[in-house]
Every structure is written in structure tokens, then in C-alpha cells.
A and B are shown apart, each in its own frame.
Chain A
């Protein structure tokens, strides 16, 4: 208590007195590591983009194909993350609330999208949802694969564990007494779940959404097989970057990457602000 009080009265200091040694060493290591892994590559990205100048940058930005690709990438990632929020939360609910044979198996299966090579998933989805595939043929003449809907399906697969694994531990901590309190006050199950339990899970659900969304925006391997990659329709921004690279148009590739980075950063910032707000409101979750 006194340590923090004096520290705050003295203003911000780099090194606060602490009984735990090694602050300098660990902070130094963390910064060096972050630089190598994240900061230097991003700096390189911005550096390369800067070669274009503002006019070249805006030319790429306003290119119809770039805009469509960004739209497809962010739009499908957003829809997939929304769907994952609903069904991922439901899955987490089933796994935490009920005991049934095969529960552990399903619990383990949730992590498969983490482990499976994304290209394998992509090929499997493409062959299942293709117009002549098992599932795809059922929906003919409506096409699933090789449209943005196919992309959404691949991204749902990729993002599912992010939602389940962030919501599950918080759900396990829900106090049984809170539900009982709602019941004694006359609330039915529906009211208890939607007015009492879910609002308490909001921060965790938002985190899961942000992770699934961020992952979906950057996803490449599983999407390109099922997307059909039709320019202006189902071409995702990461693929467009690869195409520019293959054309040796490095500045063009980094420009698209920079735009993606900025949009992602802005969206994650907004989500973080919402989270911070809900944490402050509901207390530490």
C-alpha cells in the first residue's frame, strides 16, 4: 500500500522499488524479443510502403480490386466471428454445464483447428462444400464453395476455439448462487440466462470475438481452397498480397498489408475500449 502510494505521489518512474528482483533484465529481454518478432518486421513493412509516397499509396487504396478484397476479408471475418460468438458460447455452455459421455472428446476436438494444418482444413471444406461435394450438392443450385459463404465457413472453423477457450473458464467460475438468486426472485431460465448470466460473460465473449475476428482477417491457408478466389467477388486481401508479391510488386503488397494492419489495429482498439469499459463496470472478471 505505502509503496504504491509513494510511487503515485512521486509520479511515473521507470523502475519502482520492488522486492522481486530482475525487473531490468526481464523488461530488457521482453523489449528485445518484441522488437525482433513484431516491431522490426512492422517497421520494415511501413518503410517499404513509404517508398510509394502518398499518391502511390492512395492509388492502391482506391483500386477497386483492393477495396473489394479488403471488404471480403473483413466482412467474412466479421460474420464468421459473430457466428462463432453465438455457437462458441453455446458449445462452451454445453461443455461446462453438463456431464455426458464423450464430453472430454468434444472438449479436445475444439482445439483441432489450432493444430490441424489450415491447408488440410481448406481442402477438406472445399471438397465437402463444392457443388459436387457431399454437402455442397444438397444445396444446389445454391453454391456454397467458391463464394464468400465458403470463406465464412472456413473462418468459422478457424475461429471457433478462440471463442470457446476464452468463454469457458469464465463460465466455469459463475457462482451457482447468482442463478439461484435470480430464481428466487421469480426469473425463469430464459430470463436468468439472458439478463443475469450472459451480461456477466460479456467481456470474455468480446475477447473471444476479437481473437476470432483478428485470426479470420489474417487467415490464408484454409480460405484459398474454398474461396474460388474470383477477383472482386471472393478474393481475400491476403491472397491479393501474395499475388502482388508474385508480380514482384513489393511496394504494392506492403501497401495492402499496411492498410490491413491499420484497419485491424483500429478495430482491436475499439474492442479493447469496450472491454475496458465493461470491466470497469462489472468489476474484474
Chain B
């Protein structure tokens, strides 16, 4: 099911949680809404589900204006962060609930419900646990029951709110891979919310980066990591440092001095670069500063460098250096970005 979100605005007590958000989700796509808390990602998910209604704007499921429909009519699968299982029902009753509450005209017969439940249990690899109660299951199992329950109603789209947020790191990794396989098998249009960028980049076909009620960028993992379109995306995804620079006659100047890189049009702005996109150099035109800390990080070393700022607080940048580079605590390091982006002011 294709989903179109057109100019959605959502206010809570005059505070705009979402401000003019538009997004097209292709059928069968796995999309991540990624952002810090308060960015409006969960609000957007709830609006798609119909758990909240937009102040302005529309949401289309295919050609149908879903924003006119109640949550019951939308037929979406929603998985909550804390599972929200019905604790007085067994696993099988939880999964069958959505079928059982259908009006008698469209309700499948009991034997059919039973078969569907056992198929779904197979699919989420929980066969044999149908008569357990939720409080007899582990967190990862509960999350899979919640997913099976959402899938039982044959939803048009599947929505997951921080699906792995309450799980420990190992289970989270397993479930992440499992969800990807599950999606590839079932082909449901899926939207999930996360604040964990690793999760979003690894799992999603496209990542929607959100901040302060707006979409900052929509793109594949490569797009948002390698070609960030805004200072927010550059600093939110992955590690980065930034410095105020000017561009004059094609040369990038920091504190009035050329630093050995060049750029097109003249402007003033912020130079962003990632720790790994840096080389150490002996040349005169370069950035330089004092090494204040050195951290071993797997196969490389991260140096924290303070760049003097005319008596103000120094600029703090992080660069990746080779393990055997002569970078010592307290010494001066000279470096130059190899890949960067300047966001104009």
C-alpha cells in the first residue's frame, strides 16, 4: 500500500509538533523515521495510524483519504514500544483478537482463526507458546507476539514505534535482522520509528531524518551519511566536526588563513567533515591544534584536537589518525579534510 503524506501539521496546545511535513512512501518499502526525542517522529507515526488526527493536511493510503477515517477503519498494524499486549489473554488469544472482534459478517470461523494464529506463530518462530501468558515471555518474545498480533488483521501498512527500544543490545541485533527478513518475506509497507541511527541505517530502505517537527532529509543510508543536506543531518548521523569558514576566490579560509582546500562560490558558512575524512599533513596551509586526548577505537585511533580561537573557547574537533601516526598528547597536529561540506549561513 502506497502512503502519501501531504502538508501535515499537528499542534498540541498551540505547540507545533509537526510542521508542514510531506512524504511519499512507496508500496512495500521499509522506511525509518529517525530523529532525536521531540523531533515529531512518533507523532507522525501515530497520525498515519489514526491514533491522533492532524491539525491540517491529509494522509492518503493509495487513492483513499485515510485522514477522514478512524483508527479502526484504517486497518493498520501498530506495534508499540512496550508491546501493549493484553495480559489476561494467552499468546494465541492476543494474536487472534483482531479477528475475533470483527463484525460477524467478516469474522472468519473459529477454526480459520485458529489456523491463522498458528501460521502467524510459525512465522514469528513462537510455535508451542500459544497458551502462555505475556508475563511468562521474555521481552523479545513479547515483541514478536505484538508483531504477530498486528499482522493477524492483514494490515495495509505496518507501523512500529521504537520496536526494539526496550530490549537489550543482543536481542535487539537479532530482532533487527529478523525483522528485515520478515519484511522481505511478507513485503508489507513498513514504517518504523527509532532514535538509533545504526538501526535505521542498517534496516531501512530509506531513512527519514527528522528534527523539530520537520523532515530534514529523506534518502538511503548512503544518501544521509555521505550526502547530508543540512547541518543537522551531518551532525546527527555519524560523527562529525564543524568550523566556521569563509570562501574567498575559491579558497577556504579559516580565521583568515587558507587551509589548503578549495570550494566554488564565495560565501561564509560552516565547514563540516567526518573524523575519517581527514589526512595529517606537514604543509603550511592546514588546520592545526593541540591534541587533548587520544582514544583507541577498534582498528584506528581518534584524536581530539583543540584549535585556538583568539582567546575564546577553542574549537573542538575529532579526527581519525592511523595507529602509528606520530600524534601524541599535548603535541601539535596539522591536518586537512579530504571530504567536506560547507553549509552557507
Q: Does A pair with B?
A: yes
A187 at the interface (CB under 8 A from B): yes
Q: Write the A166-195 contact mask toward B (1 if CB under 8 angstroms, else 0).
A: 000000000101101111111110010001
Contact bitstring B78-92, A, C-beta under 8 A = 1, else 0:
101010111111000
Query: What's the least CB distance linking A273 to chain B, in Å?
Result: 18
Stretch at the interface among A21-29, A71-79, A196-204: A196-204
Chain B min CB distance to A78 (Å): 25
Contact status B84-A202, CB under 8 Å? no
Query: Of the candidates B51, B72, B135, B152, which one forms a contact with A283 in the assembled complex, judged by CB atoms under 8 Å apart?
Result: B135
B152's nearest neighbour on chain A, judged by CB, is A185
Tell me if B254 counts as interface (CB < 8 A to partner A).
Answer: no
Minimal beta-carbon separation of B241 from chain A (angstroms)? 40
Interface string of B134-154 (1 = CB under 8 A from A): 110000000000100110110
Q: How far is the CB of A81 from chain B (nearest CB, A)?
A: 22
Least Cβ–Cβ distance between A226 and chain B, in angstroms: 39
Given A184-B78, A185-B149, A186-B153: A200 in contact with B87 (beta carbons within 8 A): yes
- Pick the most buried of B101, B150, B153: most chain A CB atoms within 10 A of its CB: B101
Whether B97 sits at the interface, judged by CB under 8 Å, is yes
B67 → A minimal CB distance (Å): 16
- The residue among A185, A188, A196, A281 with the most chain B CB atoms within 10 A of its own CB is A185
Q: Does A282 contact B (CB under 8 A)?
A: yes
Cβ contacts under 8 Å, A282 to chain B: 87-88, 133, 135
**Would you give the 0/1 interface string for B236-273, flagging 1 where the beta carbon is closer than 8 Å to chain A?**
00000000000000000000000000000000000000
Query: Least Cβ distance of A94 to chain B in Å?
Result: 23
Q: Is the interface of A mostly helix, strand, loop or mixed?
A: helix
Residues of A within 8 A of B89 (CB): 199
Q: Which of A177, A182, A281 makes the CB contact (< 8 A) with B88?
A: A281
A180 neighbours in B (Cβ, 8 Å): 51, 71, 78, 80, 84
Which residue, B75, B77, B98, B146, has most C-beta atoms of chain A within 10 A? B98
Chain B, range 122-174, C-beta contacts under 8 Å to A: 133-135, 146, 149-150, 152-153
In the complex, B284 has a CB within 8 A of chain A: no
Q: List A contacts of B68 (CB < 8 A).
A: none
With A and B bound together, what is the CA distance between A199 and B71 in angstroms? 23
Closest to A188 in B: B72
B158 to chain A, nearest CB (A): 11
Is B207 part of the binding interface, using a Cβ–Cβ cutoff of 8 Å? no
Contact between B97 and A202 (Cβ–Cβ < 8 Å)? no
Whether the pair A186, B98 counts as a contact (CB closer than 8 A) is yes
Please tell me if the beta carbons of A184 and B88 are within 8 angstroms of each other in the complex: no
Q: Which of A186, A188, A196, A202 contacts B86 (CB 8 A)?
A: A196
The complex places the Cα of A175 from the Cα of B150 at a distance, in Å, of 18
For the complex, give the distance between the alpha carbons of A184 and B72 in Å: 6
Assess A177 versus B80: contact at CB under 8 Å? Given A195-B97, A282-B88.
yes
B153 engages A185 (CB within 8 Å): yes
Interface range on chain B: under 10, 10 to 19, 20 to 34, or 35 or more? 20 to 34
In the complex the two chains form, is B97's CB within 8 Å of A182's CB?
Answer: yes
Q: Is the CB of A185 within 8 A of B97?
A: yes
A181 touching B101, Cβ below 8 Å? no
A187 to B98, CA, bound (A): 7
In the assembled complex, the CB of B171 is this many whole angstroms from the nearest CB of chain A, namely 20
Distance between Cα atoms of A183 and B50 in the complex (Å)? 10
Tell me how far the C-beta of B204 lies from the nearest C-beta in chain A, rounded to whole angstroms: 22
Contact B75 A186 (CB under 8 A): yes
Is B76 an interface residue, CB under 8 A from the partner? yes
Query: What per-residue 1/0 map shows which CB atoms of B37-59 lie under 8 Å from chain A?
Result: 00000000000011100000000
Question: Is B296 positioned at the interface, with any CB of A under 8 Å from its CB?
Answer: no
Q: Which of B49, B82, B87, B134 contacts A184 (CB 8 A)?
A: B49
> How long is the Cα–Cα vector from A21 to B82 in the complex, in angstroms?
38
* Cα separation A175 to B84 with both chains bound (whole Å): 8
Query: Are B72 and A183 in contact, with the CB atoms below 8 A?
Result: yes
Q: Does B102 contact A (CB under 8 A)?
A: yes
Instruction: Kindly report which residue of chain A lies nearest to residue B161, judged by CB atoms.
Output: A177
The answer to whether A187 and B51 have CB atoms under 8 Å apart is no
Smallest beta-carbon distance A184→chain B, Å: 4
A186 touches B101 (CB 8 A): yes
Mark interface residues in B87-128 (1 if CB within 8 Å of A CB, else 0): 111000000011001100000000000000000000000000
A residues 253-285 near B (Cβ < 8 Å) are: 281-283
- For chain A, residues 210 to 267, give those with C-beta under 8 angstroms from any C-beta of chain B: none
A41 shortest CB reach to chain B, Å? 40
Complex Cα spacing A202 to B87, Å: 12
For the complex, give the distance between the alpha carbons of A183 and B72 in Å. 6
Q: Which residue of A lies closest to B78 (CB)?
A: A184
Chain B positions within 8 Å of A, measured between CB atoms, are 49-51, 71-72, 75-78, 80, 82, 84-89, 97-98, 101-102, 133-135, 146, 149-150, 152-153
Pick 15 A–B contacts, CB within 8 A, sort by A: A177-B80, A177-B82, A180-B78, A182-B86, A182-B101, A183-B72, A184-B76, A184-B78, A186-B72, A186-B102, A195-B101, A196-B86, A199-B86, A200-B86, A282-B133
5 extra interface residue pairs, beta carbon distance < 8 Å, beyond A184-B77, A186-B153? A181-B78, A184-B49, A184-B78, A186-B101, A281-B88
Q: Which 5 pairs of residues, A with B, have the shortest CB-CB distance?
A: A185-B98, A283-B135, A177-B84, A181-B84, A184-B78
